[in-house]
């Protein structure tokens, strides 16, 4: 159940995907301060996998969850890391309750196990922090542009292409302003790489243009040519 990335580029690619996750954006700083036995990305990826497993198998009964938790505890000898993973899974279930009907019942059962952890209440307060949409957008665009700057240090074009493609995929979910910010940095990096990332840059640019076009409902707009109160070119 525990995810472990041996390939640094795969871990980095997963980290970029996690930028789409509001829970990750809110929790990463709080989790970084804790001494966990596995890397941050591995921890979040493991929580994702555990949460999805509970949802897919609809494990809301205490005995059923107990069985899976016992297996998880065997994989994680460090108690704090184990409970942090459970806490992350609980918060993710709470975040998914509107789109996953069974998430609420599973979360109600899982919280009983989380409460065994002395630091759960303090951690939960930090992970339950609500931010405005603008904060999330700025956070994501800043993290993505940071990743782009790091691409300049890549020694492998193949790795660079993989990372840039992941960045563009994540950036498409940003606001128009956020996409423009990432696009500007990608344009600079693309120039330095001899336009190696032109395809990815064009993809992001087109997505931004489509999002920035205002959609007008013609049926609700008065056509001035059919409006008797509008006289164009007449005295």
Q: Is residue 234 part of a domain?
A: no
Q: Is residue 220 part of a domain?
A: no
Predicted local confidence at residue 220, as pLDDT: 44
Per-residue pLDDT in tens (0 to 9) along the chain, 235 residues: 799 988 888 899 999 999 999 889 988 888 888 888 999 999 999 999 999 999 999 999 999 999 999 999 999 989 999 999 999 999 999 988 889 999 999 999 999 999 999 888 888 887 777 778 889 999 999 999 999 988 866 557 778 899 999 999 999 999 999 999 999 999 999 998 899 999 999 999 999 999 988 443 444 444 434 444 444 344 4
Residues 56 and 154 in one domain: no
Q: Is residue 223 part of a domain?
A: no
Residues 204 and 97 in one domain: no
Global confidence as pTM = 0.80
Please give the residue range of the domain that contains residue 152.
133-211
Q: Is residue 182 part of a domain?
A: yes
Give the number of C-alpha atoms closer than 13 A to the C-alpha of residue 32, restricted to the C-beta side.
7
Quick count: other Cβ atoms within 10 Å of Cβ 130?
7
Residues 46 and 101 in one domain: yes
Quick count: other Cβ atoms within 10 Å of Cβ 60?
18
Contacts of 212 (CB under 8 A, 6+ apart): 176
Query: For residues 72 and 119, what is the distance between their CA atoms, to the nearest angstrom?
Result: 19
Predicted local confidence at residue 154, as pLDDT: 59
- The tokens for 46 are 């493991």
CB 9 within 8 A of CB 163: yes
Residues 57 and 116 in one domain: yes
Q: Is residue 222 part of a domain?
A: no
């Amino acid at each position: 159940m525990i995810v472990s990335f041996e390939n640094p580029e795969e871990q980095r690619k997963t980290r970029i995907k996690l930028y789409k996750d509001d829970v990750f954006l809110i929790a990463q700083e709080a989790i970084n301060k804790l001494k966990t036995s596995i890397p941050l990305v591995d921890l979040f990826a493991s929580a994702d996998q555990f949460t999805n497993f509970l949802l897919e198998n609809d494990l809301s009964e205490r005995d059923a969850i107990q069985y899976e938790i016992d297996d998880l505890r065997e994989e994680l000898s460090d108690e704090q890391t184990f409970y942090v993973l459970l806490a992350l899974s609980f918060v993710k279930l709470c975040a998914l309750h509107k789109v996953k009907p069974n998430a609420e019942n599973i979360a109600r059962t899982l919280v009983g196990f989380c409460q065994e952890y002395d630091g759960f209440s303090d951690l939960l307060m930090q992970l339950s922090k609500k931010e405005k949409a603008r904060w999330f957008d700025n956070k994501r665009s800043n993290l993505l542009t940071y990743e782009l700057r790091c691409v300049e240090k890549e020694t492998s074009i193949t790795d660079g292409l993989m990372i840039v493609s992941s960045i563009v995929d994540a950036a498409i979910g940003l606001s128009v302003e956020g996409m423009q910010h990432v696009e500007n940095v990608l344009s600079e990096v693309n120039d330095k790489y001899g336009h190696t990332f032109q395809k990815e840059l064009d993809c992001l640019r087109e997505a931004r243009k489509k999002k920035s076009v205002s959609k007008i409902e013609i049926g609700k707009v008065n056509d001035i040519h059919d409006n008797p109160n509008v006289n164009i070119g007449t005295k």
